[in-house]
Chains A and B, each alone.
Chain A
Amino acid sequence: MLKLIKDKTSFISGVCLIVLCIILFYEASTLSPFGSVFPFAITTALISLSIILIFRSFKLEIKVINENVSSIKISLLTITFFAWIYFLERIGFILTSLIAFNLLILINSGKKIPLKKVILYVLTGSIFILLLYFGFKNLLLVPLPEGYWFRN
């Protein structure tokens, strides 16, 4: 059966969309008359399009051109990114940013960059962060997180 599907990405997308539509139909049914007009209309359109998409995936494939990605780097990046956000309010903006920022430099450099350059990046990066931190905090009056683990 799987061999019959020419466009696997479209097929999977279509199936996921149909599941989404079913959930949305259920929710729309709990809404008031005025509040449910558009949800019903758009969900109906979406489910029809998804069905067309699924049928189409059997017949032809419209290739999606994607960049090649290295899964290791992407996963590391995503985890560090998330951790950066997660610790922002806990450790405080400055500390978290300095740590995460420099970590990211290391992740992206890999093995090919000489140590001297890495140190240069770390220094300039940290200055950049500090500049923007104070700029946002004092000029733009944005209350950047202080870090409640430390606020005892």
Chain B
Amino acid sequence: MKLKSYIIKFLAALSLTAISLSAANAGVTNIIPFGPGGESDVTARMQQPYYKSIYNDDIVVQYKPGGGGSVGWSSLNSEKNDGTVIMGVNLPHIIMQPIAKGEKAGYKTEDVNVFSFFHYTPDAILVEASSPYKTFEELMDFAKKNPGQLTFSGSGTYSANHLLTISLNKKAKVKTTYVPFKGTGAAVQALLGKQVVAEAGYSTVAAKQGSKVRMLAVASEERLPAFPDVPTFKELGHNIVSGAYRGYALPKSASKETVKEWSDRIMKINADPAFIKQMEDNAFVVVNIGHKEMKKFMKKQMKANKAIAKELGLIK
């Protein structure tokens, strides 16, 4: 009996030392303010191998979900500011949340020190593969003849998906019904199960689902390389260019050099053709907005989103 307990104690001590030795890891932390499996997570993981091969260091992805991202963003400025911690940020979230929720959001847009946006996923309208509507015009035809009967599934209320249908209603002068679901997965499920007529989602849904869905229109400036046959809303006559931008931020107190350094790092990964191809294959649109362009870009976005918020009645 005694020998056994000694062996156990020895093993315990051994494992303790082994574990603390593995503490000698460097690596930078990328905090994703959402749960695992979403677009922010997937793109962060796509970057991991490229970062490793260029900078010989690991990006460790951590999750801090809650409040649609607000839990993470409100704690950003209490993280280490020496460049070892970055946090994922999303547009329109970081603009719309403080507008819609005021103080309850827990942070202000100005306090989020964004240094780069590296891609965006344009909004898109999708139908299921066996749907009778083969083009966007046919879908709108149905909507015009049957007001209220065109049901769109989408994720959440007042989310990008919801806003897309509101824009569509206005610009195409139709009356559609938006059915909110919890998360993109549930919205896609409703589409595939034909519970709704169409989905207001992102282009990434089309990439993921392949031949099971048909993307009828996409809200990007130009057609997506992975989907050359899908017209943009602009081409169809409706000026809808929208989607979710994703990027990273540092704590506000980080130095200008740290900001520049990180912006360059992300942009370098963005320049890698293999990375670009991987992103495009999955219907992500690579953009290169680094710290230099950030101020102007954010100003434009603030203006555009404030206008939408006014239309929705979120601000007076």
Binding site for B on A (CB under 8 A): 127, 130-131, 134-135, 137-139, 141, 143
Q: Are A141 and B62 in contact, with the CB atoms below 8 A?
A: yes
Q: Which of B162-180 contact A (CB under 8 A)?
A: none
Q: Are B60 and A141 in contact, with the CB atoms below 8 A?
A: yes
| Cross-chain contact of B20 among A127, A134, A141 (Cβ < 8 A) | A134
A39 to B223, CA, bound (A): 45
Contacts of B25 in A (CB 8 A): 138
A137 to B16, CA, bound (A): 12
Number of interface residues, chain B, beta carbon within 8 A: 11
Contacts of B12 in A (CB 8 A): 127, 131
Query: Between A and B, how many residue pairs show CB distances below 8 Å?
Result: 24
Q: Which of B1-32 contact A (CB under 8 A)?
A: 12, 15-16, 19-20, 22-23, 25, 29
| Cβ distance A35 to chain B, nearest Cβ, rounded Å | 9
Q: Besides the contacts A127-B16, A138-B19, A138-B23, what 20 more A-B pairs have beta carbons closer than 8 Å?
A: A127-B12, A130-B16, A131-B12, A131-B15, A131-B16, A131-B19, A134-B16, A134-B20, A134-B23, A135-B19, A137-B23, A138-B20, A138-B22, A138-B25, A139-B19, A139-B22, A141-B60, A141-B62, A143-B29, A143-B62
Residue of A134, A137, A141 with most chain B CB atoms under a 10 A cut-off: A134
Per DSSP, are chain B's interface residues mostly helix, strand or loop, or mixed? mixed
Of the A-B pairs whose beta carbons lie under 8 Å apart in the complex, a sample of 19, sorted by A's number, is A127-B12, A127-B16, A130-B16, A131-B12, A131-B16, A131-B19, A134-B16, A134-B19, A134-B20, A134-B23, A135-B19, A138-B19, A138-B20, A138-B22, A138-B23, A139-B22, A141-B60, A143-B29, A143-B62
Contacts of B62 in A (CB 8 A): 141, 143
Chain B 109-144 near chain A by CB (<8 Å), digits 1 or 0 = 000000000000000000000000000000000000
